[in-house]
Structure 1
């Protein structure tokens, strides 16, 4: 079992050498935070399907590959401080995901129905996202999952009568 920290390495992608060096290793935790990664290769999920914790925060990402669903042991995913405009759909196909950090992105809407009562998800951090007022209100009423939200600040333009 192995933990790998490749944070703050100016990586644009996960180098092939990493896959080669870890080919006979069961990767449990991987920290790729604070790089300039814009996308994760589908190969990542295939090669590291036993990973339980993945930190992709502070990168340039806006999507995750569908192959991430092969990470069936993944419990904690941090994609905070990226460029996501919605929660990646593949997250809802991860059978053991418990903690999802998507704070400080550009998410304006979340389908509350995707947070079912029988979901393994325990916590979703959506702070510092420009959530629409209706979405913010609906998320604040969710009780089946701990949803972290920034306080709702009414924008000046919301008072305007059109």
Structure 2
């Protein structure tokens, strides 16, 4: 445990220089308050939280790191994203692959500069919105290896205007 704490502190110190916080593979169950404290004077550009055991991300994350452009939350145990993520107006790349999402979070549709959303290898059946996607920048939505319902696939086809949609072809029968 002490080793993980030292690793997190060292990586926060590195991030104060290059504005890229890499907390991947740190065995984090949550983002420690110490991280917010250590990074309080740094405007983060990217954050990698992949390969941890995060079950949720606190709303504080979006409030503290609102200028972030690239966020990797892959390989965790997330089931939702906080609504506060909507204030991440600079976010261009979001990776939520290999988590435990069963619904594609509504907040991803509210990110005005999102270009790439990687949500493959979850358990996504539905999209949690009837609203259109607000990002005009969106280029790729990757939903491969999710058990998308027929209804969800239809909704995605309706949304799909200017971005590339990657989905697996195997359609399960609706029960």
Same fold (TM over 0.5): yes
Deviates more, 1:19-28 or 1:143-152: 143-152
CA separation of 1:151/1:39 partners in 2, compared to 1, >3 Å: closer, same or farther?
same
CA distance in 2, matches of 1:41, 1:149: 29
Deviates more, 1:74-83 or 1:132-141: 132-141
Where do 4+ consecutive residues of structure 1 move more than 3 Å?
110-119, 133-143
Residue 146 of structure 1 aligns with which residue? 164
CA separation of 1:10/1:123 partners in 2, compared to 1, >3 Å: closer, same or farther?
same
Unaligned runs of 5+ residues in structure 2 are: 1-17
Q: TM-score, normalised by structure 1?
A: 0.85
Q: What aligned pairs does 1:128-147 form with structure 2 within 5 A after superposition?
A: 128-136=145-153, 139=156, 142-147=160-165
Unaligned runs of 5+ residues in structure 1 are: none
Contact map agreement 1:115 1:121 (CA 8 A) in 2: no
Aligned residues: 155
Residue 97 of structure 1 aligns with which residue? 114
Pairing 1:110–2:131 present: no
Contact map agreement 2:105 2:128 (CA 8 A) in 1: no
SS at match of 2:45: strand
1:8-38 Cα shifts (integer Å, max 9, x gaps): 1100011111111111101000000010001
Q: What aligned pairs does 1:56-67 form with structure 2 within 5 A after superposition?
A: 56-67=73-84
1:112-140 Cα shifts (integer Å, max 9, x gaps): 96455973322100000001235336646
Structure (1/2) with the larger helix percentage: 2
Pairing 1:39–2:56 present: yes
CA separation of 1:74/1:18 partners in 2, compared to 1, >3 Å: closer, same or farther?
same
CA distance in 1, matches of 2:99, 2:134: 28
